[in-house]
Structure 1
Amino acid sequence: MLSIGGMGIVLVGVFGGYLLAGGKLSVILKALPFELMMIGGAAIGALLIANSIKTVKQALAGIMRVIKGPKWKQADYQDLLCLLYALANVYKKKGALGLEQHVEQPADSPIFQTYPKILKDHFAVAMICDTLRMMTLNLEDPHQIDEYIDRLLEKHHAEDMTPANALQTMADALPALGIVAAVLGVIKTMASINEPPEVLGKMIGGALVGTFLGVFLAYGFVGPLATRLAQIVDEDGRFYHVTKDVLVAIAQGAGPQLAVEIGRGNVPTAVQPSFFELESAVEQAPAVS
């Protein structure tokens, strides 16, 4: 919602200042549909040329992602640590055989079912289950597990950043496309050079709307959207890094309580549960036999 408010401030600040300075919206409104068609159409076309259809869909979904904000809240980090605590506890008490039923079919696991939001995140579930599965197959070298998860995280982050990069590329192109639209307006004006000055003035003003619109859209909307989307990707990515920290701690032989405390220490400060909040949540979590 903060992003929507920011967009409103951009519109009010720019056009409010223009009107207070004595500007007339009639010139802008008359040229706006045609300039927007040229600039917007060219920008969308360039987006389609430069990216796959999957990336285009992700870029459009990324706008909604900016409006909604980061996916993972404080309660989700607390649930993650409780989930990993429960899995670590099973591993400690029952060994690989006890853990196998949970990592082979996580959708049927009572541990994962306790935390449905995490269960719906396919990457988080796959990373947890694949790592623990390898540990049950006697891959217990913490360095190998660390490197394995790092490669997973690097791949996931690169893929998740693709929509933000696509939007940033569009933002970089918009000012130049605005100039293209403005040049076309000048060409139209020069073809009517025999018209009186008041007519030529309006035509030149309409042509300059193209330059204004390209710069305005780039730096007022699309660029900030791309920047915020990249920030959200990084913020959501911390969830997976905390998961990694706990899994590596388990591989290093840390007990369940110590492992999740290591993970809790790396949770971003703004959404970090306290030691006592986590301890209480772990105690209240449903027992798994």
Structure 2
Amino acid sequence: MVTLGGSMAAIMISFGFEEVKNVFRTVRQAFTTDLMDPRELIQIFSDLARKARREGLLALEDDAQRLEDPFFAKGIQLVVDAMEPEMIREILETDMAFTAQRHEIGQRIFKAWGSLAPSFGMIGTLMGLVQMLAELDRPEALGPNMAVALITTFYGAILAYLFFIPLANKLALRSEQEALLRQMMLEGIIAIQSGVNPRIVEERLRSFLPPLKRGSKEKEETQGEMAAEMFSTRL
């Protein structure tokens, strides 16, 4: 009780109730929501670039409304609205910066919680030792009281190193993965607005991936066909 309740109270004081409540929502999303496969994203951009060159930017309006990712949909809608590439980049980079800032708060909360939990575990141990010393005239109670005193330190270590610090690392990794996708989306959106050749759009976005994930040409074509089919099904 002291370990979890005390550390939670300290976190509430440090970050506020709303931020702590929001971080649990973020954790739930991190474990229950899958990110888009970057190779699928590349194929979608290739299809959008071809459609834009063939039918014009206004033809992408329906696609913008059907895209599931809000950032992606927002960027394509800005393209449809004929906004200048520099302005699109500024708007989307601002969005990315504030998203990263919100994600960082969640990481800070769990890192702080991971450092506080063992400390409050020690506080619980000290409280147990005080209780034990108060009952020195009862030798039969020394063992049970010592066990109760030490268990809070164990709880603090378990909470910190099995839950809070791993959750902070999970959020950090998720944030990096989302940032990569957002950067790919940004570059793809600017390329479509600028009328870049679809093949060049593909190669530009593929450069974001590690070499092992780029695959051979035959494999890429197969994956591209699958992604195109999935995209057409969504639309």
Counterpart of 2:38 in structure 1 is: 77
Counterpart in 2 of 1:52? Answer: 17
- The aligned residue for residue 93 of structure 1 is 54
Map 1:173-192; keep pairs closer than 5 Å.
173-192=116-135
Residue 178 of structure 2: aligned partner: 236
Matched residues in 2 for 1:166 and 1:213: separation?
19
- 1:156 aligns with 99
- Residue of structure 2 aligned with 1:259, choices 190, 201, 219: 201
Kindly tell me the number of residue pairs found equivalent between the two proteins: 229
Q: 1:140 to 1:280 in 2, by over 3 A?
A: farther
> Against the structure 1 CA distance between its residues 162 and 59, is the aligned structure 2 distance closer, same or farther, given a 3 Å change threshold?
farther
Higher relative contact order (CA 8 A, sep 6+): 2
Q: 1:231 to 1:214 in 2, by over 3 A?
A: same
5+ unaligned residues in a row in structure 2: which ranges?
A: none
Which of 156, 179, 195 pairs up with 1:214?
156
Structure 1: which 5+ residue stretches go unaligned? 1-36, 113-118
Measure how far apart 1:208 and its partner are: 2.2
Paired AA for residue 24 in structure 2: A
SS at match of 2:137: coil
Structure 1 residues 1-289: aligned runs within 5 Å: 37-49=1-13, 50-53=15-18, 55-56=20-21, 58-59=23-24, 62=27, 65=30, 71-72=34-35, 76-103=37-64, 106-107=65-66, 112=67, 119=68, 124=69, 126-141=70-85, 143-196=86-139, 199-268=141-210, 271-282=213-224, 285=228
TM (normalized to structure 1)?
0.66
CA distance in 2, matches of 1:89, 1:205: 70
Q: Deviations over 1:218-276 (max 9, x none)?
A: 12432123213311221233222221222222334321121122111203456545444
Displacement of 1:53: 4.3
Offset of residue 153 of structure 1: 1.3
